[in-house]
Structure 1
Amino acid sequence: MNANVKLYWVLTVFFIILSGLYTGWSLLDQAHQRVEWAGTIALLLSGLLWALIAFYLSKVHSSQGAELAEDRADANIEDGDAEQGHFSPWSWWPIVLAAAASLVFLGVAIGAWIAFIGLGLLIVSLVGWTYEYYRGYFAH
């Protein structure tokens, strides 16, 4: 992960420098001599996006405490098989949530009445997925 963080910081610097160069180049254009804002803002926001990702990954890397197995040259494959999180293999709520989200996007494209149905299903599926461990057979 350390190599990824360094790569993303390099991309951040690259896109911010490229944004400045693009702005200067658009000002040197003899025909227009004004800033072309769409490209300048797009390149600047791309640099900020890479900065956000690099900052997040550096915070995650520092909160893990030790060096990860993929950062060591002498690590074996089995060194990196730690706990990856808690996932429910029996849960149907992610499928319902995906269907509800697709109905919302379909409603935006076709008709608002479909989006309202999808929004209701979206709220029900979010509540169901959040509270699935508080009821039933797998309650805590």
Structure 2
Amino acid sequence: MKDETWIFAITTGFLVLVSPAYWFITGDWTGTSALTMATLLVLMISLYLGFHASKMEPRPEDRKDAEIADGAGELGFFPPYSWWPLWCGLTLAICVLGVVFGWWLFILGAALGIIALSGWVFEFYRGEHAH
């Protein structure tokens, strides 16, 4: 995690230099505000990673004496194929079109979206991939 901390800290330093330079060169408040917010967000991430890197034991990729076999083992659960993201995306498209064409279509899209999102959240509780 220390490598990630350094990457974000260097990015924070870069944005600290670029943000005022952008304002002096262009005088644009919108871009300066966006760069300032990006600076603060990257600073927040680097502080978070820095605090947690000091409290965690080093991962195999953080140690100089680590072997390839040290990183072996289960990495986590990766879900198989799923149709639910497609239905969630389609209901989002219906909601956006509902804002354009009429609120009745938005309400229909929101109702279908609740069903699609519930299916996506609970897909591993029933059916073929149940745990």
Structure 1 residue 130 displacement after superposition: 2.3
For 1:109 and 1:123, the matched residues in 2 are separated by 17
Structure 1 residue 51 displacement after superposition: 1.8
Deviations 1:80-121 (A, max 9, x none): 34433333325432332233334434x268534554433222
Aligned to 1:32: none
Q: 2:101 aligns with which of 93, 111, 114?
A: 111
Structure 1 residues without counterparts, runs of 5 or longer: 30-34
The change in CA–CA distance for 1:99 and 1:6 in structure 2 (over 3 A counts) is same
Aligned to 1:101: 92
The change in CA–CA distance for 1:99 and 1:82 in structure 2 (over 3 A counts) is farther
Aligned to 1:19: 19
The change in CA–CA distance for 1:13 and 1:124 in structure 2 (over 3 A counts) is same
Letter in 2 for 1:11: T
Letter in 2 for 1:130: V
Scaled by the length of structure 1, the TM-score of the pair is: 0.64
The change in CA–CA distance for 1:18 and 1:78 in structure 2 (over 3 A counts) is same
Letter in 1 for 2:36: L
The change in CA–CA distance for 1:101 and 1:5 in structure 2 (over 3 A counts) is farther
For 2:88 and 2:63, the matched residues in 1 are separated by 39
* Structure 1 segment 13-92 matched on structure 2, within 5 A: 13-23=13-23, 25=24, 35-58=27-50, 61=53, 65-89=56-80, 91-92=82-83
Structure 2 residues without counterparts, runs of 5 or longer: none
Percent identity among equivalent residues? Answer: 35
- Give the count of matched residue pairs: 130
CA-atom RMSD in angstroms: 3.3
For 1:87 and 1:94, the matched residues in 2 are separated by 15
For 1:85 and 1:43, the matched residues in 2 are separated by 35
